[in-house]
Amino acid sequence: MEVKYETLSSTQKAAIALVAFGSEVSSLVLKTLSEEDLEKLTVEIANLREVPPEVEEKIIKECHDIFMARQYISQGGIDFAKEILEKAVGSKRAFEILNRLESSLRTSGFNLLKNIDPRQLVNFIQNEHPQTISLILTQLVPQQAAAVLSELPPELQAEVALRVATMEKISPDVLKEVESTLEGHFQNTAGRDLSVSGGAKTIAEILNLIETTAEKNILQAIEADNADLAAEIKNMMFVFDDLVLLDDRSVQRLLKEVETKDLAISLKAASEEVKNKIFANVSERVAVLIKEEIEFMGPMRLSDVESAQQRVVETVRRLEEEGQIVVAGRGGKEDIIV
């Protein structure tokens, strides 16, 4: 079976790269891995078949880009790296490289949190200062941060969200101090000192993933404190009703990615504007099938409908990040598809 670059997982790419770099370099890399990662990589290396030269070349180029991005970050931070990469490889490619580096920009003391149940993490951090909690949230992936924020008391949710939205760059020293506390509690080893920042985009990503009522309460509290900031956050968010902001081409692209069942469930509590937008972009036969599916389902819990809507929203956000669709009102002229 032919090996294709587009279908390779990150672990498979890593295995191909290590083989290409040779045993001496590979052995140095493998020594630094956890037992779990070492096992995964070893299996992939053992299962490797003949890799076409052009695929190997692409993977080595990808590794080079990531190594250079790391170097730029260590020299001057993420903004510096972004500026240099954009000049070298263009905005889209720079975004892709830095996006892939996201997890490694989190210190290992925070990386250890990725497998911890959000409720357990809430029990550990809820008595910490709101600034410490907000810092920890910025080091988590949006899905986990959203789950943790949802578990916090309502009054604390708003304060933490506001602090995330207004957070500037975090110094490595502060991160190390918080990291050492986490390591002491969860017994993990020390790691890097690179940092990421909060900001409106970070809290928008988190709010996009939490329960609707909590999201509204948090936004109202932020708006009462800082109306301009709340407007900026809302502009970066995408909620289900915002499907009406998509052009027909984008809706059609979205529908190729969404399961029919999820679409039918999500439309049960949708506005007429959203329903009309969807039905205008499918054939009459498909529209009838969706409407019949909605009727067949009968009454459903609102939470189940909102979960389906959230899956649709996550697909929109992914397609927008990949540049495959455009949401009206965001981006400049260069983003408009004609």
Domain CATH code at residue 266: 1.10.220.30
Same domain, residue pair 96 and 139 = no
Same domain, residue pair 149 and 100 = no
Structure tokens at 223: 């708006």
Residue bearing the bigger pLDDT, 266 or 198:
266
Residue bearing the bigger pLDDT, 186 or 96:
96
Same domain, residue pair 150 and 252 = no
Report pLDDT digits (tens) over 34-63.
777 777 788 788 777 788 888 888 888 888
Same domain, residue pair 84 and 196 = no
**Where does a domain end: 105, 123, 148?**
105
What percent of the chain stands above pLDDT 90? Answer: 9
Of residues 219, 259, 264, 261, the one with CA closest to residue 239:
219
Same domain, residue pair 90 and 193 = no
Report pLDDT digits (tens) over 10-39.
788 888 888 888 877 777 777 777 777 777
Of residues 112, 165, 173, the one with CA closest to residue 140:
112
Three-class SS state of 327: strand
**Where does a domain end: 63, 85, 105?**
105
**Where does a domain end: 45, 72, 105?**
105
Same domain, residue pair 145 and 221 = yes
- Domain assignment of residue 170, given as a range: 108-236
d(CA 170, CA 124): 21
Same domain, residue pair 287 and 226 = no
Same domain, residue pair 17 and 119 = no
Report pLDDT digits (tens) over 84-112.
888 887 888 788 777 766 555 544 456 55
Structure tokens at 93: 């490619």
Same domain, residue pair 210 and 122 = yes
Domain count, the chain: 3
- φ and ψ at residue 278, rounded to 5 degrees: -70, -50
Same domain, residue pair 181 and 251 = no
Same domain, residue pair 9 and 99 = yes
d(CA 166, CA 158): 12
Q: Where does the chain have alpha helices with state H? A: 10-21, 23-30, 35-46, 53-89, 91-100, 108-111, 118-125, 130-138, 142-151, 154-165, 172-186, 200-207, 212-225, 227-236, 248-255, 260-267, 272-279, 284-297, 302-321
* pTM for the model: 0.41
Same domain, residue pair 13 and 101 = yes
pLDDT of residue 333: 37
pLDDT of residue 249: 92
d(CA 39, CA 105): 23
